[in-house]
Chains A and B, each alone.
Chain A
Amino acid sequence: MKKKLPPELKKISQCDKGLTFPCPQPWPQGLPAVAVNGLVLAGFEQEFVFDHQLDVEDSEEIAKLFRSLYFELYAIELSWIFKNSKKYSWLPVELIFSKFNVRLNEQIENLASAILLLPSEAQHYCALKKWNFSDFAPLAIATKSDLNLESFFKTLCQRNGSKSLSVQIFELYTDLRLMGQDEENLLLPSKEISVDHWLLALKHLRYPQAYSADQKASEKIHSLGNTHSSIAKWVRQGDKSGIEIRFFVSQPSDLKKYSNNLEQLQIDLEKNNPWKIH
């Protein structure tokens, strides 16, 4: 075991910057970069670097140092680290990944390679939105099927939807393209349409039977008149769909009114059963 020495302050040009990867969080200005055994780990744009001399056998120590430099790293940054670390066999990449809760295996390696083929704008967007490897899962089949995702990611970046919506849209889009749908049918035709509506439109295409049945059931509820449709709404909850009843009571007599309405709703639903559509 090499004796642990204090880090040495050097000019960054004296160190190897081969691990450089894009990181959404900038390194604090004025703080020297950090290197281990001459390899810069963070602060790639700095002028000076604290170079730690650590025993290459001491993987845990190296991984711990790496972990301490970043509050969080997600799929984009980790993919770059995976790629750029290949020439540094002593760098404990698997252990470093595990410190960011990612188990490096063939599945992740394949995904990392596919992620780095995405246009840089898409990578930047996904890094900002903190996409995990699991969010990129549809990329495996898309890559295998040579699916061109350039226009898709261009639209996604422009619309800047939330991560949750974007990830859902990505999977639905990939599925639908591979099910034979044309790109033009699936990309947003107009900037007026919100990302939520885009998601909904894709859901309608991906789940045509369930959604068209839901739509018909919803229309049936509406057809029962305003009294019912003001409190009853057809909703889907996972593998079930049904009626959600909502009302607001501001005085005890409201309850009587709603209770009468509910009785009538039951009668009307029995006559005109929306579940029969399914």
Chain B
Amino acid sequence: MENTLIPFVKSLEIYKHHFEKIYIDTKSLDSKLAQRILNLFPQDKIALVDEDPFKNHKGNLSAEQFDKSKKILHIKPFAGYFFKRCPGASQKKILNCCNYHVLNLGQQCNMNCSYCYLQSYLNTPATLIYSNIDKALAELKEMADQFPQQPFRVGTGEVIDSLSLDEITLYSRELIQFFNNYPKWTLEFKTKSDKVDQFLDCQHASNTVVSWSMNAPQIIESEEHGTANLTERILAAKKCKEKKFPVAFHIDPLIYFPDWKEGYAYLVESLTKNFQPKDVHAISLGALRFQPEQRHMMKERFGLKSYVTSAEMFPSEGNKLRYDQSLRKEMFNFVLDLFKANNPKWRIFLCMETPETWISSFDQAPIRNPQLKDLFKPLPKITS
């Protein structure tokens, strides 16, 4: 019962206010997560359900349903396969991708970024958190026992922020402990929150990378609603650094706005002032991109005054909408040059970008870059 007792819920009042309703599947009742939620949240918000309350929902969510889905929490066991490759890997012919694997322990997010790709991805009108993490760990163990020496990178932040609800789930603690047994494997948390206190006391094998999606302060303010601000994210990263957790930063998505150069220069300065290349596992850069069908939902939810919805986006290879290639190149080079000028040892790569953009920014494909080739080296294919 350790997890249900640890009082790591600094933001409990915020969560209580945020979630309007919590459904707990009766099959999840014995889980630590369900017990913890029953202890933490007022009983009138919680309903125990024998079957999926959203089973009749079909198809895409409307903008209103998407908004509402952030406020309804559904705890249930996940019946499928938890562990899979990053979506970028399925577009290897078009994109250079970095061998990332994902472990989805839930879906949806309690924060609200205007560009969030979940807007074109989700079709469940609730935030899901899976109660059967033991099954996820069993899957991981099977894989890790098969390839203990391969440098697999496993991220938990694909369809849910890794840490923004972690004070409730405490899944970080179980994952860190699990990865201690597989030092060649890397666990990566990815967040826009500053919720790290709940795992800082954990013993770790220096293979848990805590990473932040970072942006210019103007973009955090105008596009990343409900997230931690830049200072809070940096402070949280410093706490992790002090506890010897490797940290990483994803400057992604780079978003064009009138003062973008000042904004991103400030961001780079904030990072280089607080961290050294040796402290930072990697920095990834990505430019704004989204599925074309997502644009209508974004406009409906955030209007046309947002830097994202009013951006000049064009269809690209792979069908996503992107900035003009020359603007992307300019933005990448601007940020890369700032890092290089500070210290050439920063380990930087582009996320979900085409080989042409790679070559124009780095003069070579990532597999030929000595600092990055480990990340991009092909790994054994996992069949799920």
B310, B315, B324, most chain A CB atoms within 10 A: B324
Question: Does B304 contact A175, Cβ atoms closer than 8 Å?
Answer: yes
A241 within 8 A of partner (CB): yes
Question: Does A278 contact B327, Cβ atoms closer than 8 Å?
Answer: yes
A179 within 8 A of partner (CB): yes
Question: Which of chain A's residues 166-214 have a Cβ closer than 8 Å to chain B?
Answer: 175, 178-180, 206-210, 213
C-beta contact mask, B219-236 vs A, less than 8 Å → 1, else 0? 000000000000000000
Contacts of B63 in A (CB 8 A): 107, 140
Question: Does A179 contact B299, Cβ atoms closer than 8 Å?
Answer: no
A38 within 8 A of partner (CB): no
Partner of B315, one of A104, A106, A239: A239
Question: Which of chain A's residues 137-181 have a Cβ closer than 8 Å to chain B?
Answer: 137-138, 140-141, 144-145, 175, 178-180
Question: Does A106 contact B296, Cβ atoms closer than 8 Å?
Answer: no
Question: Which of chain B's residues 308-323 have a Cβ closer than 8 Å to chain A?
Answer: 310, 312-317, 322-323
Question: Does B300 contact A144, Cβ atoms closer than 8 Å?
Answer: yes
A3 within 8 A of partner (CB): no
B270 within 8 A of partner (CB): no
Question: Does B316 contact A238, Cβ atoms closer than 8 Å?
Answer: yes
Question: Does B324 contact A107, Cβ atoms closer than 8 Å?
Answer: no
Question: Does A106 contact B327, Cβ atoms closer than 8 Å?
Answer: no
> How many residues of chain B are within 8 Å of chain A by beta carbon?
31
- Stretch in B18-26, B54-62, B209-217 with 4+ CB within 8 Å of A: B54-62
A271 within 8 A of partner (CB): no
A106, A140, A236, A239, most chain B CB atoms within 10 A: A239
Is chain B's binding surface mostly helix, strand, loop or mixed?
loop
> How many residues of chain A are within 8 Å of chain B by beta carbon?
31
Question: Does A140 contact B324, Cβ atoms closer than 8 Å?
Answer: no
Closest chain A residue, CB of each to CB of B60 = A107
Question: Does A240 contact B64, Cβ atoms closer than 8 Å?
Answer: no
Question: Does A207 contact B312, Cβ atoms closer than 8 Å?
Answer: yes
C-beta contact mask, A72-91 vs B, less than 8 Å → 1, else 0? 00000000000000000000
Contacts of B146 in A (CB 8 A): none
Question: Does B300 contact A238, Cβ atoms closer than 8 Å?
Answer: no
CA distance A178 to B301 in the complex (A): 13
Question: Does B323 contact A107, Cβ atoms closer than 8 Å?
Answer: no
A70 within 8 A of partner (CB): no
Contacts of A209 in B (CB 8 A): 312, 324, 327
- Kindly provide the distance from the CB of A243 to the nearest chain B CB, expressed in whole angstroms: 14
A275 within 8 A of partner (CB): yes
- Kindly provide the distance from the CB of B349 to the nearest chain A CB, expressed in whole angstroms: 20
Partner of B61, one of A106, A178, A210: A106
**A-B interface contact total, Cβ < 8 Å:** 83
Question: Does B62 contact A239, Cβ atoms closer than 8 Å?
Answer: no
Question: Does B315 contact A238, Cβ atoms closer than 8 Å?
Answer: yes
Partner of B312, one of A138, A144, A145, A210: A210
Q: Are A239 and B322 CB-contacts (below 8 A) given A105-B59, A105-B62, A106-B65?
A: yes
Question: Does B300 contact A140, Cβ atoms closer than 8 Å?
Answer: yes
CA distance A103 to B330 in the complex (A): 42
Q: Are A105 and B304 CB-contacts (below 8 A) given A141-B299, A239-B324?
A: no
Question: Does A106 contact B62, Cβ atoms closer than 8 Å?
Answer: yes
Partner of A210, one of B57, B300, B324, B330: B324
CA distance A103 to B322 in the complex (A): 28
Known: A106-B62, A145-B303. 18 other contacts (CB 8 A): A103-B59, A105-B57, A106-B64, A140-B300, A141-B299, A141-B303, A179-B305, A206-B312, A207-B314, A210-B324, A210-B327, A238-B317, A239-B313, A239-B323, A240-B316, A241-B324, A278-B324, A278-B327
Q: Would you list 23 pairs from A and B whose C-beta atoms are within 8 A, ordered by A residue?
A: A105-B57, A105-B62, A106-B62, A107-B60, A107-B63, A134-B293, A138-B296, A140-B63, A140-B300, A141-B300, A144-B300, A175-B299, A178-B299, A178-B304, A206-B312, A207-B312, A210-B324, A238-B314, A238-B317, A239-B313, A239-B315, A239-B316, A278-B330
**Interface residues in chain B, defined as those with a beta carbon under 8 Å from any beta carbon in chain A:** 57-65, 293, 296, 299-300, 303-305, 310, 312-317, 322-328, 330
**Interface residues in chain A, defined as those with a beta carbon under 8 Å from any beta carbon in chain B:** 103-108, 110, 134, 137-138, 140-141, 144-145, 175, 178-180, 206-210, 213, 236, 238-241, 275, 278
10 closest A-B pairs (Cβ-Cβ)?
Answer: A278-B326, A178-B304, A106-B62, A105-B59, A239-B314, A103-B59, A137-B296, A239-B316, A107-B62, A238-B315
